[in-house]
């Protein structure tokens, strides 16, 4: 057996990482969560399940993804070496497929023929639809109307893969509302439906289970960094955080190392138009502790507990909360979470594209921005690994729109400066 699932610290008996997490859901779902927990515990120790997952990750997804030295980006920053963990090389274009395949296999094992998923940018939806097609499962994807507009290509992909995309028009018509709708569907059809949750959020055991499934990213980094640099642990790791699944996937294998061996872990939150503007999705920098989608976490909510609509240039980061394990990392100083604005992300996207020939997703561009700034402050013998969580194909139409918008604004008549007469 070549694949083993990691044994990082599990949440406590109430499903919490410190004070975060838990199971704040309608009682209807509690037995289903218990059932899922039991099935997952059994599956993760079953060679048949692990072998099948291993085979699919290798032959279907194309793992391991590369750890690539970004030479021109490194030169540009002028400090530490910048490595890119190439999750964009995965089939379907992002890290999401790792978790979806594992959960879909689990669904099949549990005898559930119907799977549901929520999606923001569409990457998790596409990955769920792909896994469902591969394994012969019925798939329904909930997606906000606003995201359907922003991500038309992924919507078409899901339909082509045989999934039904259900448009959500409640609330802000984005990811949080799609998640509400998926949970409502699950409450209603819990007996025959498996909910493929896309990030390290939601009620226990999802945050820990999704972490375990995504941690293959960080585990591969250890091996690859060892081969390239003669040591398993990089000096710093940077990843973007919405709910936080790609970040936890690359952080977790390092987060539980003793403090003096642990790399600097940086999560980038979507600061939108700036945390002070109120138009952002930075739950650590601009939120406070609350409960959403079954878990206690840092959350954008007002002083009466109503959820504040998040904003980000990137549909995938447009989520008002952040996974409970990240909350614990933040509270205990294991990782730092820094805000990166829409404009900074858009610049970083163009920078990486022009220097390395890699068009990253808008989500990932947030991490690129922070990694370049960080590398600049470090020595050339040090390394920064950026989780290149996904490729930008899905975003090019939106980026084109945004850049055109920028050009129009540039083209507007500039305030006249008085002519200087010599």
Partner 1 sequence: MTATLTPTTPGAARLHAAFARAKQEGRAAFIPFMTAGYPTAQAFPAVADALLGQADILEVGIPYSDPLGDGPTIQRASEQALAGGTSTRHTLALVRELRSRHDTPIVIMTYVNPIYAVGPREFMRLAQEAGVDGLILPDLPPDQDLEIADLAAEHGMAVTFLIAPTSTPARVKLVAEACTGFLYAVSVTGVTGTREGSALNEVPAMLALARQYARVPVAVGFGVKDAETAAQVAQVADGVVVGSAFINAVKAGQDVGALAASIREGCTQN
Catalytic site positions: 96, 118, 389
Q: Which stretch binds partner 1 (CB under 8 A): 19-27, 136-144, 278-286, 373-381?
A: 19-27
For 332-345, give the secondary structure using H, E and C.
HCCCEEEEEEHHHH
Pick from 304, 381, 408, 419 the residue near partner 1 by CB under 8 A.
Answer: 304
C-alpha–C-alpha distance, residues 306 and 98, integer Å: 33
On whether the CB atoms of residues 371 and 80 are closer than 8 A, the answer is no
Tell me the pairing of strands 114-119 and 138-144.
Answer: parallel
Q: Nearest approach, Cβ of 105 to partner 1 (angstroms)? A: 24
Residue (174 or 330) nearer to partner 1, CB: 174
Q: Does 111 bind partner 1 (CB under 8 A)?
A: no
Pick from 123, 301, 341, 389 the residue near partner 1 by CB under 8 A.
Answer: 301
Pick from 109, 114, 166, 184 the residue near partner 1 by CB under 8 A.
Answer: 184
Q: Does 307 bind partner 1 (CB under 8 A)?
A: yes
On whether the CB atoms of residues 167 and 141 are closer than 8 A, the answer is no
Query: Which residue from 245, 12, 264 is spatially nearest to 121, judged by alpha carbons?
Result: 245
Pick from 1, 2, 7, 13 the residue near partner 1 by CB under 8 A.
Answer: 13
Q: Does 75 bind partner 1 (CB under 8 A)?
A: no
**Residue 321 CB-density burial (10 A; 0-12 exposed, 13-18 middle, 19+ buried):** buried
Residue (90 or 173) nearer to partner 1, CB: 173
Q: Does 305 bind partner 1 (CB under 8 A)?
A: yes
Q: From the DSSP assignment, how many helices (H) and strands (E) are in the chain?
A: 16, 14
Range 348-387, binding partner 1 (CB under 8 A): none
Pick from 133, 153, 232, 289 the residue near partner 1 by CB under 8 A.
Answer: 289
Pick from 59, 75, 276, 302 the residue near partner 1 by CB under 8 A.
Answer: 302
Residue (15 or 218) nearer to partner 1, CB: 15
Instruction: Kindly write out the interface string for residues 22-61 of this chain, putting x where it contacts partner 1 by CB under 8 A and - elsewhere.
Output: xxxxxxxxxxx-----------------------------
Calculate the dihedral angle through the C-alpha atoms of 353, 357, 361, 363, rounding to the nearest 10 degrees. Answer: -60
Q: Which stretch binds partner 1 (CB under 8 A): 51-59, 244-252, 260-268, 292-300?
A: 292-300
Q: Nearest approach, Cβ of 290 to partner 1 (angstroms)? A: 5
Place of tokens 């899901």: 158
C-alpha–C-alpha distance, residues 131 and 113, integer Å: 12
Residue (71 or 306) nearer to partner 1, CB: 306
Q: Does 303 bind partner 1 (CB under 8 A)?
A: yes
Alpha helices in 69-204 (DSSP H): 71-77, 96-109, 123-135, 145-150, 152-160, 175-189
On whether the CB atoms of residues 207 and 200 are closer than 8 A, the answer is yes
Q: Does 176 bind partner 1 (CB under 8 A)?
A: yes
Pick from 14, 260, 416, 421 the residue near partner 1 by CB under 8 A.
Answer: 14
Calculate the dihedral angle through the C-alpha atoms of 379, 380, 383, 385, rounding to the nearest 10 degrees. Answer: 110
Residue (217 or 299) nearer to partner 1, CB: 299
Residue (177 or 269) nearer to partner 1, CB: 177
Calculate the dihedral angle through the C-alpha atoms of 319, 323, 324, 326, rounding to the nearest 10 degrees. Answer: -120
Pick from 11, 294, 310, 390 the residue near partner 1 by CB under 8 A.
Answer: 294
Count how many Cα atoms sit within 13 Å of the Cα of residue 325 in the half-sphere of its side chain.
34
Pick from 45, 51, 71, 170 the residue near partner 1 by CB under 8 A.
Answer: 170
Residue (38 or 257) nearer to partner 1, CB: 38
Length of the chain: 422
Neighbours of 257 (CB within 10 A): 13
Q: What are the tokens at 23?
A: 């199971």
Q: Does 188 bind partner 1 (CB under 8 A)?
A: yes
Query: Which residue from 159, 205, 207, 254 is spatially nearest to 34, judged by alpha carbons?
Result: 205
Q: What are the tokens at 217?
A: 């990213």
Place of tokens 């838990």: 22
Residue (85 or 204) nearer to partner 1, CB: 204
Pick from 190, 196, 365, 385 the residue near partner 1 by CB under 8 A.
Answer: 190
Q: Which stretch binds partner 1 (CB under 8 A): 120-128, 169-177, 240-248, 407-415?
A: 169-177
Q: Does 416 bind partner 1 (CB under 8 A)?
A: no
| CB-based burial, 372-382: b 16+ in 10 Å, e otherwise | bbbbeebeeeb
Binding residues (CB under 8 A) for partner 1: these are 13-14, 22-32, 170-171, 176-177, 180, 183-184, 187-191, 289-294, 296, 299, 301-307
């Amino acid at each position: 057996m070549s694949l083993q699932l990691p044994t990082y610290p599990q949440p406590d008996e109430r499903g919490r990482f410190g004070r975060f997490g838990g199971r704040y859901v309608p009682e209807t779902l509690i037995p289903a969560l218990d059932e899922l927990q039991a099935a997952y515990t059994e599956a993760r120790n079953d060679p048949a399940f692990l072998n099948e997952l291993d085979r699919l990750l290798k032959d279907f997804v194309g793992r391991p993804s590369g750890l690539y030295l970004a030479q021109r980006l490194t030169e540009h920053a002028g400090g530490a070496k910048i490595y890119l963990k190439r999750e964009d090389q995965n089939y379907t274009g992002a890290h999401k497929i790792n978790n979806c395949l594992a959960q879909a296999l689990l669904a099949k094992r549990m005898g559930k023929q119907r799977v549901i998923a929520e999606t923001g940018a569409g990457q998790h939806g596409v990955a769920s639809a792909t896994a469902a097609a591969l394994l012969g499962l019925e798939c329904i994807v909930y997606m906000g109307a606003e995201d359907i507009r922003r991500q038309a290509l992924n919507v078409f992909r899901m339909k082509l893969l045989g999934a039904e995309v259900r448009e959500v028009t409640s609330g802000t018509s984005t990811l949080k509302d799609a998640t509400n709708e998926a949970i409502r569907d699950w409450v209603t059809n819990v007996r025959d439906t498996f909910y493929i949750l896309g990030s390290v959020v939601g009620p226990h055991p999802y945050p820990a289970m999704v972490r375990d499934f995504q941690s293959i990213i960080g585990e591969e980094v250890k091996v690859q960094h060892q081969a390239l640099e003669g040591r398993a642990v990089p000096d710093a790791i940077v990843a973007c955080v919405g709910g936080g699944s790609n970040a936890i996937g690359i952080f977790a294998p390092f987060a539980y190392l003793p403090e003096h061996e642990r790399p600097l872990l940086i999560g980038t939150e979507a600061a939108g138009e700036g945390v002070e503007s109120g138009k952002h999705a930075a739950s650590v920098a601009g939120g406070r502790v609350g409960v959403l989608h079954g878990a206690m976490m840092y959350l954008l909510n007002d002083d009466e507990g109503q959820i504040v609509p998040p904003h980000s240039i990137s549909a995938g980061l447009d989520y008002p909360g952040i996974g409970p394990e990240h909350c614990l990392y933040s509270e205990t100083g294991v990782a730092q979470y820094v805000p990166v604005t829409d404009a900074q992300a858009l610049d970083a996207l163009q920078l990486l594209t022009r220097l390395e020939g890699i068009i990253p997703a808008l989500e990932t561009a947030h991490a690129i921005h922070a990694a370049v700034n960080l590398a600049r402050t470090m020595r050339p013998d040090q390394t920064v690994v950026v989780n290149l969580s996904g490729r930008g194909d899905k975003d090019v139409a939106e980026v084109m729109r945004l850049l055109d918008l920028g050009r129009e604004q540039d083209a507007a008549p500039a305030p006249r400066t008085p002519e200087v007469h010599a």
